[in-house]
Amino acid sequence: MSHISAGVEYGIHCLLYLTPTFNQRREASVRDLAELQGVPHEFLAKLFTKLAKAGLLVASEGARGGFALARPAADITVLDIVDAIDGQKSLFDCREIRSRCAIFDPENPPAWSSRGVCSIHSVMLSAQQRMREELALWTLADLAARTTEKAPASYPATVIRWLDGRGPARGA
């Protein structure tokens, strides 16, 4: 199991299609996005709810409702998305082994043994900090640009047409 969940992957992929590159009206329903990306739409709904609570998305309810980016794609970092979906979970959780040393009185370990941050824990925290710094360097706009780099020039227009062809009126 990986530290950064599949939910984050699903979320980012779908968020890309809310950027102006692929979606001028900047709003789409969860179902359309999920089907476009081939991910379970009920699962994606949960993810988008989290993203909305974190202030990255705004939801409009009711028929013809959907989600849109709450701010420019260049102001949404990968770290924002990871934190919103995975909830700032830490890379390592310290169990305070240092205070379990058999030499100590189990009921009353000395104060110095648990003073400050455990040295092992502090190494893990700095590693986590490095990871977060890197994630904060990249924005949705960067990822959208890299995606269109590889794809043929006609791809964004095809996506837009596909999205416009959906919706409640598709049966009529």
Partner DNA sequence: GGAAATCTACTCGGATACCGCGTGTCCGAGTTATGGTGG
Partner DNA sequence: CCACCATAACTCGGACACGCGGTATCCGAGTAGATTTCC
Residues that bind DNA (CB under 7 A): 1, 5-7, 10, 29-32, 39-40, 42-43, 45-46, 48-49, 52-53, 59-67, 86, 89, 166-169, 171-172
Q: Cα angle vertex 62, ends 61, 66, to 5°?
A: 50
The answer to whether 78 contacts a second copy (rule: CB under 8 A) is yes
In whole angstroms, the minimum distance from the beta carbon of 106 to DNA comes to 16
Provide the β-strand partners of residue 59: 67
Q: For a second copy, which stretch binds (CB under 8 A), given 45-53, 55-63, 64-72, 129-137?
A: 129-137
The answer to whether 158 contacts a second copy (rule: CB under 8 A) is yes
In whole angstroms, the minimum distance from the beta carbon of 154 to DNA comes to 25
* CB closer to DNA out of 37 and 148: 37
Size of site (CB under 8 A) for a second copy: 57
* CB closer to DNA out of 2 and 108: 2
The answer to whether 157 contacts a second copy (rule: CB under 8 A) is no
The answer to whether 151 contacts a second copy (rule: CB under 8 A) is yes
The 10 Å Cβ neighbour count of residue 26 is: 15
Query: Is the Cβ–Cβ distance between 56 and 20 less than 8 Å?
Result: no
Q: Which amino acid is at 38?
A: G
Give the contacts of 85 (CB within 8 A, at least 6 positions apart).
5, 7, 8, 11, 47, 50, 51
4: phi > 0 → left, psi -120 to 50 → alpha, else beta; which? Answer: beta
Query: Is the Cβ–Cβ distance between 84 and 51 less than 8 Å?
Result: yes
Residue 160 contact, options a second copy, DNA, none, Cβ 5-8 Å cut-off depending on partner type = none
The tokens of 137 are what? 């360097």
Residue 157 contact, options DNA, a second copy, none, Cβ 5-8 Å cut-off depending on partner type = none
